[in-house]
Structure 1
Amino acid sequence: MNKVLFNFHDLVLIVVIIEGLILSLMTIFTKRNLSNLLLGLFLFLSAAIAFDVLIYWCVPLRDILAEMSPALFFVMGFAYFLQGPMLYWYTKSLLYRDFHWKRSDLLHLIPFFVYPFFIYFSVYRHDEEYQLVLIYDYLTMSRLDHFAVYIWAQKLSPLIYGIFAIKQMVSYRRRIENTYSDTTHIDFSWLNLLLWLFLLAWLWALATHVLAQFTPVSVSSAMGVTNNYLTLMLVNALVVYSLSHSGVFSGIHMETPAPASEPEVVESLPPTYGELLKNAMQENRFYMVVDITLEQLADKLAISPKALSATINSDFGQNFFEFINYYRVEHAKQLLMNNLDKNLDMQSVMQESGFNSKSAFHRFFKKFTQMTPGQFRKKYLTEAEPDGKHANA
């Protein structure tokens, strides 16, 4: 990577820079919303980091820029402290339709605001000769206490926010089960995969820094080059995902009540709510609406979503997802017991019970009956035969 100007490995970084800049502008201005703004800023920061790596490790380019102004080598350092928060906020903006910046979010920007002061007192207040030493002798620079802390913070910041983003995904999975009765239309697998891959890339960068202290330069250099290729693939994958999966997240409110398994102080609710809900499910069969949501059911019952969620949690010990599918399973059981002679196929049973996917049908049927639909029908048929009720089945 340090033999000729713009060797093949350098070209990878140049591609990341060009793609990052172009795609960030396209993303921000093509469809103006918060998610696209955050994605565009993330892509711009990825380009800035690639530029920071390029000018330091491409020796011919480093010589040219060092002669122009050593100060150029520390301009892009802020990007490392913004990349993590941007991916974290981007994830939240996809998952929660009412996500917006709050005053408390400024806390995530503290490292960014501290960086200019750090660079001034560590670099810019010194003469150019000292700055050139920092540029050309990375080992010496990294052993200075304040720069050692800075480099560790630089490597750890995106890694920490990658973990935060994945925790948001885990929380989202739990919350959608308290909002939707059918989640087959919500596909977050690709975003989850991308977050894990970014986390892996940032973990790889941290490992490269750690191993550089104990291994030959060739080892850490090879790991650094590998990370550049990984960054290129991830930036492209993130853009492709964002363009092709922009509509798969229905989004839920950030204040959606948490599942029953999470400790929560619930206000005292009228005891009639439980009976109201039970009667409504039996008489009106709201569970037959394939994609019914917590908000829609609450609207039909003329109570608040929070009160409905609390009632389901406290009176039935279930979340909304389990509650609706419990009634669907009960309906499916009745269909199977009442149609032993008609050989009703399982696809029809599934659809007539309000289920939208075979996997959900079989999963919840087994959850609530400890057997598959086929086993249930066979068992009930066997039990019915001695009475002569279904001898011809």
Structure 2
Amino acid sequence: MNSSAIMAIFSALALGHSLFLAGHLWASVKKRPSSFFLALLLTALAVRILKSVLVILIPESPDIIPAVGLVGLMTIGPSLWFYIKSFKNVEYKATRLHLWHYVPALILIVLIPFFNEQQMFVAYCISVAHMFLYITRSADFVMRAFRNYGRTERKWLSLLLAAIFLIWTTFFAQLLIESFITYLSVTIVASITIYGLSLWAGKKTRLFTEPRRIYTEKASQEVLQVGNQIEHLLTQERIYTDSKLTVKTISERLSKPEYVVSQSVNAYFKQSFPELLNYYRIKHASSLIESNTYENLSIEGIAYESGYNSISAFYRAFKNLKGVTPAQFKKT
């Protein structure tokens, strides 16, 4: 048995391992929303690994195999993004709007049978760029919310992002060097990465179990009370203008555990903490732009006054919530 066949078998085992983990996570979808997207991410990786394994074992494989690999590749990015967003938000729900992010993959399923070799290459280039876009978006989200995660959570998300980026580099390498070695590198890197993540995360079961929820009537009243207190701090004291504001800051201010503050934000406002901050900060920024008192204040100045220490983060949040840039909003 040659080395290529051995690597293909090893990768096939990694593929089965991915599907096993995905199946385990599917069973806990109702308990933890992020499990759905992590299972989808693992399934997409498994599909992409399957393509490389079959190409190695069956050099004259039919065109449908690379096509399936492209669909898996196009699914990895959105699944990673939604997993990152739902990671600490127990109220996060998968809606029909999420499907729009998977439309490119669905389009590929329909059109790929009609693609020639050149069109397949173009589709592969688009898929690699598509995945990179979601990786950078996910990394940016984690960086902005980094202080809101615990030590283990930070390490897990950092390892996951690094692993997916490493896998992406092998896909990118295939654009530059189309050879058997690059196909083999995809299976090797993806397989080792998945096994490595599994070994590390297997000892941190708390990352994949249901967060502590509040069931008693007394505790539910506490959530309502803490939610009211947080709302007061946001609306009356405008604590969102503090660029260093975190869940820990509020928990210390209210003398409440961090998990109570986090649960109260999710249950009371129906938003994650970063989403809540962006909402109030952009609302405040909009009022400053509309006010004649601050008409001489620059866009950058408005960003800092609203609690942002990054202009790019301010522009991105403003565009997401208002649909226009701060400059366009000011003109209107």
TM over 0.5: same fold?
A: yes
Equivalence for 1:38: 37
Aligned-partner SS, 2:93? coil
Of the candidates 21, 24, 30, which is equivalent to residue 23 of structure 1? 21
Moved more, 84-93 or 70-79: 70-79
Q: In 2, are the aligned partners of 1:27 and 1:37 still within 8 Å (CA)? A: yes
1:327–1:79 CA distance, 2 compared to 1 (3 A):
closer
Long gaps (5+) in structure 2: 214-220, 256-332
Task: Indicate how the Cα distance of structure 1 residues 162 and 5 shifts in structure 2: closer, same or farther if over 3 A, else same.
Answer: same
Q: Structure 1 residue 113 and structure 2 residue 78: aligned?
A: no
Given residue 147 of structure 1, which amino acid in structure 2 is its aligned partner?
M
Alignment pair present for 1:160 and 2:159 = no
CA deviation after TM superposition for structure 1 residue 50, in Å: 0.9
Aligned pairs (5 A) from 1:224-373:
224=186, 226-234=188-196, 236-237=198-199, 240=202, 243-246=205-208, 299=225, 303=228, 305-313=230-238, 319=245, 321-322=248-249
Distance 2:105 2:135 in 1: 17
Q: CA deviation at 1:14?
A: 0.6
RMSD across aligned positions (CA): 3.8
1:335 aligns to what?
A: none
In structure 2, the CA distance between the partners of 1:296 and 1:316, relative to structure 1 (3 Å rule), is farther
**Residue 320 of structure 2: aligned partner:** none
1:38 Cα shift? 2.1
Cα 1:12/1:197, change in 2 over 3 Å: farther
Measured in 2, the distance between the counterparts of 1:308 and 1:326 equals: 10
Verify: 1:86 aligned to 2:79, yes or no.
Answer: yes
How much identity, in percent, do the aligned residues show?
Answer: 11
Q: Does 1:148 align with 2:146?
A: no
Asked if residue 191 in structure 1 is aligned to residue 162 in structure 2, the reply is no
Flag the 1:238–1:154 CA change in 2: closer, same or farther, 3 A: farther
* Structure 1 residues 12 and 249: CA distance shift in structure 2, 3 A: same
C-alpha distance in 2, partners of 1:218/1:211? 13
Counterparts in 2 of 1:42 and 1:235: CA distance versus 1, 3 Å: farther
Q: 1:316 deviation in Å?
A: 8.8
Rounded Cα–Cα distance in structure 1 between residues aligned with 2:234 and 2:66: 54
Pick the aligned partner of 1:95 from 88, 92, 98: 88
**Is the 2:7–2:188 contact (alpha carbons within 8 Å) kept by the matching residues of 1?**
no
Q: Deviations over 1:129-148 (max 9, x none)?
A: xxxxxxxxxxxx3xx2x223
SS in 1 for 2:115: helix
Render the CA deviation track for 1:148-168: whole Å, top value 9, x for unaligned: 321112222222222222222
Find the residue that maps to 1:99 and give its secondary structure: coil
Three-state SS of the structure 2 residue aligned to 1:198 is helix
Query: Partners in 1 of 2:87 and 2:17 — Cα distance?
Result: 23
Cα 1:37–1:323, aligned 2, differ >3 Å: closer, same or farther? closer
Stretches of structure 1 that go unaligned for 5 or more consecutive residues are 124-140, 177-182, 252-294, 329-393
> What is the rounded CA distance, in whole Å, between the counterparts of 1:110 and 1:238 in structure 2?
33
Q: Which residue of 2 aligns with 1:380?
A: none
Question: What amino acid does structure 1 have at the position aligned with 2:132?
Answer: L
Cα deviation per residue 1:154-193 (whole Å; 9 max; x = unaligned)?
222222222222222233336x4xxxxxx7x664222222
Q: Which has the larger radius of gyration?
A: 1
In structure 2, do the counterparts of structure 1 residues 307 and 161 end up closer, same or farther at CA, with 3 Å as the change threshold?
same
Q: Deviations over 1:78-134 (max 9, x none)?
A: 1111121112212222222221123432321121121023213215xxxxxxxxxxx
TM-score (norm 1): 0.52
Check 1:164–1:11 CA distance in 2 against 1; reply closer, same or farther (3 A cut): same
2:2 maps to 1:9: no
**How far apart are residue 235 of structure 1 and its match?**
5.1
Contact 1:78 1:115 in 2 (8 A): yes
Q: CA deviation at 1:250?
A: 6.8
> For the residues of structure 1 that align with 2:22 and 2:250, how far apart are their CA atoms?
43
Say if 2:90 and 2:211, in contact at 8 Å, map to a contact too.
no
Deviations 1:32-68 (A, max 9, x none): 432222222222222111111111132xx344x54xx
Count of residues in Structure 1 that have an aligned counterpart in Structure 2: 245
Distance 1:31 1:102 in 2: 14
Q: Over residues 215-245 of structure 1, what are the superposed CA-to-partner deviations in whole Å (9 max), with x where a residue is unaligned? A: xx47646644542344333552575267342
What secondary structure, in the 3-state scheme, does the structure 2 residue paired with 1:7 have? helix
> How many angstroms does 1:211 deviate by?
3.4
| Equivalent residue letter for 1:246 | F
Residues 135 and 165 in structure 2, CA contact (< 8 A), matched pair in contact too: no
Counterpart CA distance in 2 for 1:327 and 1:303 is 11
2:144 maps to 171
AA partner of residue 230 (structure 2): P
Aligned partner of residue 114 in structure 2, secondary structure: helix
